[in-house]
């Protein structure tokens, strides 16, 4: 009894092995067949895009060739002799125009000479120099005083006028409008000073004073 049971178990195990292998073979064949179908379907059954590209390339070729033929035909039709004839014909036409221009220039020069001779000679006008104005006035020496009273005057135009220098401690001092000019009177110790006027925000030299290093100069003794 024991031998019969062992033979049955071996037979059933062999059958199971064969069934398992058959199932694997079927699955492999299905997968392989699916990939083969996709490959042949992509490359053999649907070749439409390649045909379209070829037809487009073939259709584009005649247009290029026709343009090339037209360019070559136009180059061949134009003979070089025609250019030479045009230049030969145009050359003599330019000469009478140049002669006419020369004659008109000569006539114009003669007329201008005649007009210049008839006009009376103009007398040169000499511009009169404006007299220098006293823009800096130093008062007489006061006894027992180390400072001098100095009046600065600005005779130009401006809406706001001020003066800046070492004697103002580098701070602008405003001038007052007096008649036709602006002026200010300051107490200054004797010495040599450089100064500038500030006219509407612009640094300006005194046109009636001496100059040094781009600034106006005043000497107080």
Judge whether residue 42 has pLDDT over 70. Answer: yes
Output the pLDDT for position 77: 46
Task: Look at residues 196, 157, 200, 197 and name the one whose alpha carbon lies nearest to residue 177.
Answer: 157
For residues 193 and 169, is the Cβ–Cβ distance under 8 A? no
* pLDDT at 4 (0 to 100): 57
DSSP3 helix / strand / coil % (the chain, rounded to 5): 50, 20, 25
pTM of the model: 0.42
Q: What is the pLDDT of residue 153?
A: 95
pLDDT score, position 13: 75
Residue 128: the pLDDT is: 40
> What is the chain's mean pLDDT, rounded?
74
Domains of the chain: 136-220 (2.60.40.10)
Q: In this predicted model, what pLDDT tens digit does every residue of 139-180 receive, in sequence order? A: 988 888 889 999 999 999 999 999 999 999 999 999 999 999
pLDDT at residue number 55? 44
Residue 200 has pLDDT above 80, yes or no: yes
pLDDT tens-place string over residues 185-195? 999 999 999 99
Is residue 161 within 8 Å of 183, Cβ to Cβ? no
Q: What is the DSSP letter of 143?
A: T
Specify the higher pLDDT residue, 193 or 25: 193
């Amino acid at each position: 009894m024991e031998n019969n049971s062992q033979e049955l178990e071996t037979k059933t195990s062999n059958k199971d092995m064969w069934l398992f292998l058959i199932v694997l073979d079927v699955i492999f064949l299905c997968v392989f067949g699916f990939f083969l179908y996709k490959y042949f379907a992509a490359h053999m059954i649907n070749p439409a895009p390649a045909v379209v590209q070829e037809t487009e390339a073939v259709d584009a070729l005649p247009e290029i060739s026709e343009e090339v033929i037209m360019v070559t035909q136009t180059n061949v039709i134009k003979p070089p002799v025609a250019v030479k004839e045009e230049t030969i014909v145009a050359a003599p036409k330019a000469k009478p125009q140049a002669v006419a221009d020369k004659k008109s220039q000569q006539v114009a020069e003669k007329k201008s000479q005649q007009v210049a001779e008839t006009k009376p000679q103009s007398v040169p006008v000499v511009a009169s120099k404006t007299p220098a104005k006293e823009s800096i006035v130093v008062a007489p020496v006061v006894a027992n005083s180390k400072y001098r009273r100095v009046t600065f005057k600005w005779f130009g135009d401006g809406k706001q006028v001020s003066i800046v220098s070492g004697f103002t401690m580098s701070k602008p001092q405003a001038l007052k409008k007096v008649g036709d000019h602006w002026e200010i009177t300051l107490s200054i110790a004797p010495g040599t000073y450089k100064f500038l006027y500030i006219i509407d925000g612009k640094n300006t030299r005194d046109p009636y004073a001496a100059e040094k290093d781009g600034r106006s100069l005043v000497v107080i003794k």
